[in-house]
Each structure stands twice: as C-alpha cells, then as structure tokens.
Amino acid sequence: MLHVTNHSNAVNIAHDQANKLMENIKAKAATTRGTPDQFISSTTLSITVDVRAALGDTEVLKHTLDCQEVKHYPKNSPKSISPQKQLQ
C-alpha cells in the first residue's frame, strides 16, 4: 500500500534562503569594515522568522564572521599591523 502525504518544502526553502543570506553576510564582512553585530542586524532586519531560525544562533553567526574577517585580514599581514608596529 502506498501512502501519499501532502507536505511542503518550506523548511528547505528557508534553509536555502538562509544559506544565501549567510554567503551575502560573509561577502559583506570580507569586503567592508564593521562589526558582526552590524552585519547580522542589517541583513536580518526584514527576513521571515523561518529564515531567521534557519540561520541559527547569533553567537555562532558572530563567530563565523570573526573567522571570515581573520581569513581576509590575518594578524601578521601588513594591512592589519598598525603603522607603529611596522616601524619596529
């Protein structure tokens, strides 16, 4: 016997949208200056509750963005060293 149930793929849609948003947030963090809080709040201001839930915990998002920033601005790179430290 075959059972057919009606179900929606809303969960998958929310996860897909969350993944796209996270990629946008990462790109913004890699190319502009700001805090993780600023990137998260500006991006999540007008999204649905389902997508916000699919993004996950805010602290995890902040950690991800911190890692993204370190990837693009490593501690020992000339861009991240202050001019006083470069002279030493």
Distance CA 66, CA 80 (A): 14
**pLDDT of amino acid 26:** 86
**pLDDT of amino acid 6:** 58
For the chain, what is the HEC assignment? CCCCCCCCCHHHHHHHHHHHHHHHHHHHHHHCCCCHHHHHHHHHCCCCHHHHHHHCCHHHHHHHHHHHHHHHCCCCCCCCCCHHHHHC
Q: Assign 12 a pLDDT band (cuts: 50, 70, 90).
A: confident
Cβ atoms < 10 Å from Cβ of 84: 7
pLDDT in tens, 18-77: 999 999 888 888 888 888 888 888 888 889 998 988 888 989 888 888 887 666 555 555
pLDDT in tens, 16-33: 999 999 998 888 888 888
